[in-house]
Every structure is written in structure tokens, then in C-alpha cells.
Amino acid sequence: MTKKVIIANWKMNPQSLTEAKKIVTAITTKVSHFKKVSVIIAPPVIYLESLAKLQNTTLAGQNLFWEESGAYTGEHSGTMLAKSGATYVIVGHSERRAMGETNEMVNKKVKAALKAGLKPILCIGESVRDEKGDYHTFIKEQIMQSLAGLKKVNLKNVIIAYEPVWAIGKNAKREATPAESLEMSIFIKKVLSDMFGAVATKTVALIYGGSVNTKNAEAFLSDGGVDGVLVGRESLTPLKFIQIVYSAEHLS
């Protein structure tokens, strides 16, 4: 990767389009001239079309359905996202998986995203880091099943976000360390290499996404073996998110 990738996942926030526009404008005003960072914002789908009209804004959906149309109440397709202004889409986030999303469903979504011309941000991560290292098998299965059937050429349009569930949110056991991120980065690349070959693997962006904040972002970016970070809560506070982007831009 020539640029670091910093993604803002707003989840079900903020509560109005007016506030969403203020946050986007505050961020892009400060970081749009940066040369070493790609900033992607994933707002609630209801705001996409309006935010796409703002300058210097690259957007992602937070989810999609694998069918293009039909009787699927409450769902939206990749084509809808693309026409609303999204370039990327988050797939398989841990919060979606907690609601019952399987690797097979994620695989359908990855393929649907690519078919619609979107770049999927595939989230993977273990719930428990056991001493025996069984989490390696868990991650390997997530990757293999989520990317099953893809061609080598597809990988250049895929971002993989490693998010250890045990390090996320109020119930987090503890924060993950850059060393643990580096370990998983090496392991994930090995799995991808076995699936698609070493050359194809070099085109995949790998980012970290476990409770990223202004205090730990720079360490993950410099020592975590990743090409960027997926930011949740602090992406809604422009000053904090800008600080994270600034750290990525000014890494030596």
C-alpha cells in the first residue's frame, strides 16, 4: 500500500443529517490535502446520498444484502449503495456476526459488493485468544470461507480489517497490543498467500480495528504490521479522528 487507510465507522450515529455534515466537513477541511492517507467514512446508509455531495469525501456503507433486489424488507443492495455515493462497504463486522451473520453469508456479501463495483472491507477476528492458539484456526476458517470463490484479481479491491472481539467495547478483556496485531498480520498474510499466491497477497490492504483511539493508533500504524486502522467511537469526534489521521500522515 502506498497510502495508509483510515476508516471511520460511525455505526448508528449521529442522530441527524445536519450533525453528520458538520462532522464530515470538520474532518475533510483538515485532512483533504494529506498525501499519504486515504480517509473513508462509513455513516448510516440514510445519510450516504447527501454526504456524497460534499467535497473530498470518500464513503462506505456499513452493510449490504447479497441480492440485487426483491422482497427483502429493511435490506439494501450493493447497487443501491454505489448509486448513493459509496465506494466501499464494511462486510462481516463483529457486531453483525454477533447478530447471526455467518461466514457463508459474509462470502455472499463480499461477492455482491465486488459485483456492484464496491470495495469490501472484510472484518475478521476471534472472540477469545486462548493459550493453545486455537484462534489461529478460527481466523483461518473465517478468511477461507469469507473469500471462497474469489479470483486473484479481486484481492486488489479488498481491505481486510482484523478486529479482535475480546478487545472491543465495554466488555473488553483488555486492549490488544501492536505486537499481537503484528502477529496476526503475518498469519493473515500467510493464509492469503496459501489461497491466492504471494504476489496477489501484496495487493491486499490489512488494517487493525480493535478499540482504536488517539492513544494507541500511532503504535498500531507504526508497529502493528498494518496498512491502516478502523476507528469506531472516536471517529465521531472530529478533533480526535483528525489526530489519528495526522499520525498516519506523518509517520516516517
pLDDT of residue 1: 55
DSSP code per residue over 165-186: GGGSSTT-SS---HHHHHHHHH
d(CA 39, CA 137): 32
- Cα 88 to Cα 131: distance, rounded to the nearest angstrom: 35
Q: What pLDDT does residue 252 have?
A: 55
Q: How confident is the model at residue 62 (pLDDT cuts 50, 70, 90)?
A: very high
Looking at the predicted structure, is the pLDDT value of residue 47 above 60? yes
DSSP state of 208: E
Task: Please give the average per-residue pLDDT across 78-90, as a whole number.
Answer: 98
Strand partners, 49: none
Give yes or no for a cis peptide into 14 (omega within 30° of 0): yes
Mean pLDDT of 84-92: 98
pLDDT at 176: 93
Q: Is 33 a catalytic residue?
A: no
> Residue 128 CB: number of other CB atoms within 10 A?
11
Domains and CATH numbers, the chain: 4-249 (3.20.20.70)
Task: Give CA–CA dist 91/121, Å, rounded.
Answer: 6
pLDDT in tens, 92-136: 999 999 999 999 999 999 999 999 999 999 999 999 888 787 899
pTM above the 0.85 mark? yes
Is residue 67 part of the annotated active site? The answer reads: no
pLDDT at 133 (0 to 100): 78
Q: Which residue of the set 95, 126, 163, 218 is catalytic?
A: 163
Asked whether 40 and 72 are in contact (CB, 8 A), the reply is: no
Using one digit for the tens of pLDDT, what is the confidence trace for 147-204?
999 999 999 999 999 999 999 877 777 889 999 999 999 999 999 999 999 998 899 9
C-alpha to C-alpha distance for 20 and 18, rounded to whole angstroms? 5
Distances (CA, A) of 56 to 25, 44, 51, 53, 202: 9, 18, 10, 9, 27
DSSP state of 220: H
